[in-house]
Chain A
């Protein structure tokens, strides 16, 4: 803003004050519920219900965390969610990069149409396919396994992943392909030697979008898995809060256990996460 001419400085500060007020207000709106969740996870019902609604806990009740960890296996659910998210991201990525290569680098009739076909996936609600997918999974003997969630999640993330990969792949100069051809690489050689390594920046971008898709999903996770050892976080939380409806402390503790690892990783990697997310927006 150094270039602002002198005459503009005054309005500049007024605007800046308004802008900061807006930003700080929205920051509070964002942080307050999280702060509240954290504090009530350490309080007794008496404090939550009236004596001390928004302050820091008078007495820190760490037992709430013990209760939450005891009734629900939050650690297990968390691990399951992470395994499923990571595997989904990998599967999505493999399928998306390969498909994108076929549609953007190899010239053939109908490749544009094929791309449009995949883009249909952007608009399909995940819940609309629950029973047919259930029946298919059953026929393949895949119910009650990690794949029961990984495969559908990957399929529903695919459209977005292809959209992003298209953006990234278009940025790779076609001359590199041609050079590889001259060196005697075939389509596959070019793909593995040139395209895959150069597509690595897309990895984190696709990863973020896919993560958002499968980290939150509840309905499939609830219906396709009945075994506790593969229960995911949203299902675990929902079940747990059904069990402690009236003891808010342990629910709060469970919510915190489920949230803070994500937020912590996010704080460490926020710059990277944001820039990949943004990259997706621009390339997509």
Chain B
């Protein structure tokens, strides 16, 4: 009988011990859960409120014919269809332009940045000076860069035409561009796109250069020295040692260059606002014009949705391409 009692007692004790440890575990779990939630809250509020909710709203509005304040009419995928078939909304052209900018960024801007980074990364005299000068344009406000280049391109008094005139080259260029009085640069639909891209590419060379320079500096000196001792030339060291080593940074640079090109807006907006005759139209300028000039809020949202999808798609594709290479 006593024994029974004893046994029961131990059972009771062990039961309560289990319960307590269970309780502690659960409390720990709740504590952790609540903590995780609290730690994430500021970021989630910002992120969902300013990025995710508007995307949702844009997707929703993209199915409507709506001027932004009147009554909405559901139109299904009509906006998407119109965007690719319309004679009036030059979306395919805008897309082509921004893809061209992406290509130019990757094949002109990045190689130039890489060349500068490799040259500086070698540890030459004046390294700091060059580094500082090359990065400086990145810090100047885009609107300022835009205003400055508007002055450079001005057909009457701009720096570029004055310079060409003094060299006696303006006539020759006019013959090529079909201009009559002066080279119009941003005003000539044949060359405006190229003219608008130059400042964009110019401004961000420094950005990519510094990213890549960081990578180059991170290559262990022993690796270089070993290769040099083996008789590798400067170019060979870069090609076989440095570049493969900084591939992850090149990948980031490529992603930034491509998505940045697709998103490009500010400089184009200041320089040409998509003109002349839509020659420099990019998706973002078209979107803003649809929203605020054409009063086509649904169509503007459709462009926003496609733009986000494209940026995302390219980021994934580029990552995949680099992974495959490895």
B99 within 8 A of A: no
Which residues 231-269 of B have a CB within 8 angstroms of A?
Answer: 231, 233-235, 249, 252, 255, 259, 262-263, 265-266, 269
B211 within 8 A of A: yes
CB pair B43 A282 closer than 8 Å: no
Q: A3-B225, A216-B266 are in contact. Are A277 and B210 (CB under 8 A)?
A: yes
Instruction: Annotate A85-97 by CB proximity to B: 1 below 8 A, 0 otherwise.
Output: 0000001001110
The A contact surface, by secondary structure, is helix
Q: Which residues of A contact B128 (CB under 8 A)?
A: 270-271
Which of A56-64, A130-138, A170-178 lies at the binding interface? A130-138
CB pair A259 B288 closer than 8 Å: no
Selected contact of B144 from candidates A94, A96, A188, A259, CB within 8 Å: A259
CB pair A158 B46 closer than 8 Å: yes
- Size of the A side of the interface (Cβ < 8 Å), in residues, is 99
CB pair B148 A255 closer than 8 Å: yes
Q: Which residues of B contact A238 (CB under 8 A)?
A: 143, 147, 270
**Chain A nearest CB, measured from B93 CB (Å):** 18
B162 within 8 A of A: yes
Task: State the CA gap A102–B47 with chains docked (Å).
Answer: 15
Which residues 124-145 of A have a CB within 8 angstroms of B?
Answer: 124-133, 136
Q: Which residues of A contact B291 (CB under 8 A)?
A: 130-131
Task: State the CA gap A279–B215 with chains docked (Å).
Answer: 10
Using CB atoms and an 8 Å cutoff, list the residues of chain B in contact with chain A.
31-33, 35-36, 39-44, 46-47, 49-51, 53-55, 57-58, 68, 112, 115-116, 119-120, 122-124, 126, 128, 130-144, 147-149, 151-152, 156-157, 159, 162-163, 202, 205-207, 210-211, 213-215, 217-218, 225, 228-229, 231, 233-235, 249, 252, 255, 259, 262-263, 265-266, 269-270, 284, 287-288, 291, 297, 300, 304-305, 307-308, 311-312, 314-315
Name 8 extra pairs, CB < 8 A, besides A237-B144, A259-B141.
Answer: A50-B162, A96-B43, A123-B312, A123-B315, A133-B54, A217-B266, A219-B266, A281-B214
Subset of 9 A-B contacts with CB under 8 Å: A27-B130, A27-B133, A30-B137, A54-B159, A125-B284, A151-B46, A259-B141, A266-B139, A267-B132
